[in-house]
């Protein structure tokens, strides 16, 4: 994985009259990274993406795409961006092939390479069979895929997808996810979504934005560590005495749950192996032992719901 920085966002701020939609957001995206952008509705995801793609002027801050400043050299910067907005920007009266050819020309693909680029994009998004059909007659899922094809047609360094899997059926979602993973190898990808498992399935970085502020930013690996908690659930047929469990090295606290299971909290060392050993030698008849994990959803809810709503939101 190279460390080439593709997107550099510094102190990005955007006001809608007095409402601050994006507040001092800074982050970087390197080549080979797939970044999931999470947040509740109205958190500023789409505004941030619109600013990175030049659809919205920031109130303050700096954006550089592949080392080119978006405000000073918009043309060069935009050449490196592929963008799929919330609503796919398709012309209903054109056929898929016509539309993609138009997009290819808009993105300054040399005339001779246009048909090749269109062919590659249709193949990648599985649009081959609908190439000659009018976009207006296609289903939402196909329109969405045409939108994705449009975003990747000029092989941009950065691909920005605003909720790419909305309106797709489960099979298409899987295809799009694998497409995103494939693209993620050579490009930098930012995708926003509400679907949390999608982030775990496709992204190697996660950012959570809430009320315009970045509240969480970590790699998926780092996030997995955050997700592991220091506890495990055990089911014993012969429930052992509490003090015997507490004697095991590392065990901090033992909790008996109502459904007959036992939650074992531990510190520093993972006592799983010792618990199993003891269970065998003392005949506790251990039938189940699961490490507990928090889900991304829990982190998300903790971060976005923990603080009490400020007073001004009532107005």
Partner 1 sequence: MIFTIAARELRSLFLSPLAWSILAVTLFILAYLFLSQIEGYVTLQPRLAAMDNAPGVADIVVAPLLADAAIVLLLVTPLVTMRVLSEERRNGTISLLFSAPVSMTGIVVGKYLGVLTFFLILLGLLALMPLSLLAGTELDLGKLAAGMLGLTLVVAAFVAIGVYMSSLTEQPTVAAVTTFGLLLLLWIIDWAGNTNLEASSTLAHLSMLRHYEPMLKGLFISTDVVYYLLVIALFIGFSIRRLDATRLQP
Binding-site ranges for partner 1 (CB under 8 A) = 16-17, 50, 53-57, 74-76, 78-79, 81-83, 85-87, 89-91, 93-94, 102-103, 105-108, 150
Q: Which is nearer to partner 1, 159 or 234 (CB)?
A: 159
E-strand ranges in the chain read 5-16, 19-30, 34-38, 60-65, 68-69, 81-84, 158-162, 188-192, 205-210, 213-219, 228-236, 251-256, 262-266, 286-293
Q: Are 192 and 165 in contact (CB under 8 A)?
A: no
d(Cα 231, Cα 146) in Å, to the nearest integer?
46
In the complex, what is the shortest distance from the CB of residue 2 to partner 1, in angstroms, rounded to a whole number? Answer: 24
In the complex, what is the shortest distance from the CB of residue 257 to partner 1, in angstroms, rounded to a whole number? Answer: 51
Q: Which is nearer to partner 1, 83 or 300 (CB)?
A: 83
**Other Cβ atoms closer than 10 A to 82:** 25
In the complex, what is the shortest distance from the CB of residue 8 to partner 1, in angstroms, rounded to a whole number? Answer: 18
In the complex, what is the shortest distance from the CB of residue 300 to partner 1, in angstroms, rounded to a whole number? Answer: 27
3-state secondary structure of 120: helix
Q: Which is nearer to partner 1, 75 or 132 (CB)?
A: 75
Q: Which is nearer to partner 1, 107 or 193 (CB)?
A: 107
Q: Which is nearer to partner 1, 191 or 245 (CB)?
A: 191
In the complex, what is the shortest distance from the CB of residue 69 to partner 1, in angstroms, rounded to a whole number? Answer: 14
Rg (CA), the chain: 25
Pairing verdict, β 34-38 and 205-210:
parallel
């Amino acid at each position: 994985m190279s460390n080439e920085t593709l997107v550099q966002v510094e102190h990005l701020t955007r006001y809608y009259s007095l409402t601050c939609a994006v507040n001092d957001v800074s982050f970087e995206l390197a080549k080979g990274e797939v970044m999931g952008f999470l947040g509740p509705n109205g958190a500023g995801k789409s505004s941030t993406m619109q600013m990175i793609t030049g659809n919205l002027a920031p109130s303050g801050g700096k954006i550089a795409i592949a080392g080119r400043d978006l405000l000073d050299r918009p043309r060069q910067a935009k050449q490196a961006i592929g963008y799929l907005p919330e609503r796919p920007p398709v012309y209903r009266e054109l056929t898929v092939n016509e539309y993609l050819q138009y997009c290819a020309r808009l993105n300054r693909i040399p005339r001779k390479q246009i048909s090749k680029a269109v062919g590659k994009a249709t193949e990648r998004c599985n649009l081959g069979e609908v190439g000659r059909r009018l976009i207006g007659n296609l289903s939402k899922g196909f329109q969405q895929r045409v939108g994705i094809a449009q975003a990747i047609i000029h092989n941009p360094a950065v691909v920005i997808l605003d909720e790419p899997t909305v309106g797709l059926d489960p099979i298409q979602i899987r295809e799009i996810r694998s497409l995103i993973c494939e693209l993620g190898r050579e490009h930098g990808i930012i995708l926003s979504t509400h679907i949390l498992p999608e982030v775990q399935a496709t992204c190697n970085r996660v950012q959570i934005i809430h009320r315009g502020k970045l509240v969480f930013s970590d790699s998926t690996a780092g996030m997995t560590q955050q997700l592991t908690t220091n506890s495990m659930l055990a089911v014993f047929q012969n429930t052992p005495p509490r003090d015997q469990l507490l004697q095991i090295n590392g065990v901090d606290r033992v909790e008996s749950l109502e459904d007959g299971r036992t939650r074992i909290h531990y510190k520093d060392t993972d006592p799983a192996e010792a618990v199993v050993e003891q269970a065998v030698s003392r005949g506790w008849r251990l039938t189940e032992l699961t490490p507990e994990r928090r889900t991304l959803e829990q982190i998300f809810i903790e971060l976005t719901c923990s603080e009490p709503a400020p007073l001004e939101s009532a107005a």
